[in-house]
Amino acid sequence: MNATRDVRGWRVKPPSSPSKVGKRMARKKSLITYVQVAPLTVVLFFFFVIPIALVVLVSFFRYQMLVGIVPQFTTKNYVDLLSNPTTWSLYLSTIKFTLIVLAITFVLGFWISYFLVFHVRNLITAIGLFLLCTIPFWTSNIIRMISWRPVLGREGLINSGMQGVGIIDRPLDWLLYSDFSVVVAYVHLFTLFMIVPIFNSMARIDKLLLEAAVDAGATRWGVVWNVVLPLSKTGIALGALFVVTLVMGDFFVVTVMSGGMSGSATSGIFNDLQFLNYPRAAASAVILLVIVLLIASAIFRLVDVRKELVK
Amino acid sequence: MKKTGGLLNKKISRRNLVAGGAAIAGSAAVTGFPMVWAQKLKDITLNHTGMSYSTLADIGKQAEKDLGFKVEMSVVDHPGLLNRVSNDPKSIDVADVEIWQNKVLIPQKVLQGIEIAKIKNWGDLTSLYTDGTFAGKQVSREGDSPIEFIYRRSVDDGGPSAAKTDWVNFLPGVFNADTLGIRPDLVGRNITTWADLISPDFKGKTAIQNIPTNGIMDAMMAFESAGQLKYRDKGNPTKDELAATIAKLIMLKKGGHFRALWSTFDESINLMASGEVVIQSMWSPAVTAVQAQGIKCTYQPLKEGYRGWGNGLSLLGHVAGLKRDAAYEYLNWYNSGWVGGFIAKQGYYSSNPKTAMAALTENERGFFYEGKPATADITSPTGKKTNSAGDKRDGGSFEERFSKVAVWNNLMDQAEFLYAKWNEFNAA
């Protein structure tokens, strides 16, 4: 750096302003920051911003049977979708599944993490048990899902077992191809997404806090309720976010496990793509995106994940 | 064209080969390629893209062995094929399309005409495709039958022509007549009509395919034969007819009539093999697959007739020069016997019955084509036993089956409405 460049420092500054050198450092620092975020920005721009912009654009185009997309502005896709009771019942059914799965995976995730963090004294054992939880993830999603069929089917393990023992005399039909089997598959597939973040935030809790609470006279439940739960809320929020987006965006699990008897918000998109109705599929996608974003922002409003994470 | 004669007499160098390739390819006079060509063809890779039931890796392997150039088979689903052909046509050379898909693809102008004069065995191909007749009678025009799309107006105009021309949109491929699959050991009575699909006798034990264009056909066949609804033309129902059909389907679904709606072929196999359902929409290879597990499964002929469907091989517009020559070689090979014999064992028919029958053993020929009882075990394409000696193929001979096609798979004018309605059925 030579002195002539410093001419830019002519502006009158309050005496407390940082020195020229300091400012230059700051500028350099911020430049470095820009460089550091540049790769991610570029990636996000090309693989996130542009595709989303295209989807939004196409959602306002007209569709013509046998031709496909006609680039003429119309709001028909949105009007059609929003005024159609089918859309609403599909969303209702998807939200129902989301809430049920969220509740179950939260209870499971919370207590499994609690057990791993606070009951297992040996760190190695805890890590070992944690890894056990990931074993189902060594096989593909589809296998994990399909493998429920021989268990839940009419002539499956549970039905034939219970019939053998004499608890029931005819097979229970609602075990498979029902809302029940859909929830079972979702819980099986997604509980780990709840366990990992909750485990992570619980592991950061200083154990001395728990001792202090007990010393101060808290009951066992009081400790969980007043200490562990509030301190794990970042993990819970992140886990909930995973589960919500996974369930809301799914159409495959629900189709396979309900035997095609239930739909989801996404199955409409799939059906539209079958005959190249990209505009309506795009409009559905935008609506879904808006709803998921609303849910996500509600979750972030409850818990400031950013603040909690840097703590 | 004038150039062609001169070029053939010349010693062919690489340069004028490339330059003249298109001209030669356009000429019907070329039969049997000189050695140089055979050498060049070796470097060609031909991509055949289609759906899982007909785009079989074994076919590609055998073609490579017989033709000497690479044939790559890529499998996509129904919407995937339409999307690929319309949006990324250069990634495909030969598209294995269902007849009704031509309705979408022809206006996209991505296919090129196939010159009949260059298809050596054209005369042997089934009149079902080339003439719209079968066993001397006109085939059903309900739905999208092959004859309605096969001939194009000219080289450049893919629009379907009612009169025969020298150019076609697709080479006749595999085809079949679909019906309901049943578990004869579990249905407990004779199944004779499509109406049995919606019979209360099978409440909670039936399934229908969750592919709107096909599922609606099965449903219409059932409601019509049960006398519940009437259709002017099942191949092209009106909005009112569709709405009435879906309303009935929704009632059945809410009443617990369907055990499941299946969307993939293997789901239908599982449903049947596990006994979850005893009567359902089914495709022929799925029946074969259930039988191969040692479970009795019948592809039950019904008195109202079959739901026919067919495929054709289309050439994409960009295919030219040497590659086009290779593609024609492949098209000629496709109906020359081996494929016909192979797919017969999964219950399908080749458009060239003569060579397909010749590729089968006498026992297989009798069983698959002539309606005779098997004289020895019948095996699937993968070599698993499907039928024993004495068994007869469901539905009888090739001729008997195909003279009873009542309606064809199709893309109806109201397809957009159908999809919206089918969504309601799914959501109900």
Say yes or no for a CB contact (<8 Å) between B261 and A277: no
ipTM of the modeled complex = 0.70
Which of A181, A274, A278 would you mutate first to test chain B, the one with the most B CBs within 10 A?
A: A274
pLDDT of B24 above 60? no
Q: Which of residues 79-108 of B touch A (CB under 8 A)?
A: 79, 82-83, 86, 103-104, 107-108
Most confident of A4-8, B134-138, B170-174: B170-174
* Chain A residues with CB-CB distance to B274 below 8 A: 149-150, 153-155
- pLDDT tens per residue, range A42-53: 999 999 999 999
The pLDDT, as a whole number, for residue B145 is 94
Domains of chain B: 1-30 (no CATH), 42-169+309-335 (3.40.190.10), 178-305+404-427 (3.40.190.10)
pTM of the model: 0.77
pLDDT digits (tens, 9 = 90+) for B76-103: 988 889 889 988 999 999 999 999 999 9
The residue among B126 and B21 whose pLDDT is bigger is B126
Is 60 exceeded by the pLDDT of residue B235? yes
Residue B258 phi/psi, 5-degree rounding, is -90, 135
**What CA–CA distance (Å, rounded) separates B229 from B237?**
12
Quick one: DSSP state of residue B46? Answer: E
Q: What is the residue type of B74?
A: S
Q: Is the pLDDT confidence value at A197 over 90?
A: yes
E strands, B226-269, where?
Answer: 258-262
Any CB–CB contact under 8 A between B426 and chain A?
Answer: yes
Cβ atoms of A248 and A98 within 8 Å: the answer is yes
8 Å CB contact between B353 and B336: no
Query: A287: closest CA among A61, A79, A108?
Result: A79
**pLDDT tens for each residue of B274-332:** 889 999 999 988 998 899 899 999 999 999 999 999 999 999 999 999 999 999 999 99
Long-range CB pairs of A223-228, under 8 A, 24+ apart, other chains included? A224/A114, A228/A114, A228/A118, A228/A202
Mean pLDDT, residues B355-376: 94
DSSP string, A108-173: HHHHHHHIIIII---HHHHHHHHHHHTGGGGS-HHHHHHTTHHHHSTTSHHHHHHHHHTS-SS--G
Decide if pLDDT at A183 tops 90. Answer: yes
On whether the CB atoms of residues A279 and A59 are closer than 8 A, the answer is yes
Nearest CB to B263 within list A260, A262, A275: A260
Give the C-alpha distances (Å, rounded to integers) separating B354 from B121, B124, B126, B360, B369: 10, 7, 9, 10, 10
Helical pair A85-114 and A233-248, crossing angle rounded to 10 deg: 140
* From B86, B108, B426, residue closest to A263, measured CB to CB: B426
Name which of A89, A176, A260 is nearest B210 (Cβ-Cβ).
A260
Calpha distance B401→A257 (Å, rounded): 35
Alpha carbons B216 and B236: distance in angstroms, whole number: 11
The helix/strand/coil state of B101 is helix
Using an 8 Å Cβ cutoff, are B69 and B24 in contact? no
Q: Which residue type is seen at B409?
A: N
Distance CA B277, CA B268 (A): 9
| E strand residue ranges, B114-160 | 114-115, 133-134, 137-138
Q: Which residues of A touch B78 (CB under 8 A)?
A: 274
Q: What percent of chain B is modeled with pLDDT above 90? A: 71
Task: Evaluate if residue B7 carries a pLDDT over 60.
Answer: no
Looking at residue A235, the DSSP 8-state letter turns out to be H
Tell me which chain B residue has its CA closest to the CA of residue A86.
B424
Residue whose entry in the numeric block shows the structure tokens 């995973």: A242
Q: Which CATH architecture has domain A79-310?
A: Orthogonal Bundle (1.10)
Half-sphere CA count of A112, side-chain side, radius 13 A: 24
Q: Where does chain A hold its CATH 1.10.3720.10 domain(s)?
A: 79-310
Interval A245-264 mean pLDDT: 88
What is the average pLDDT score of chain A?
86
pLDDT greater than 60 at residue B27: no
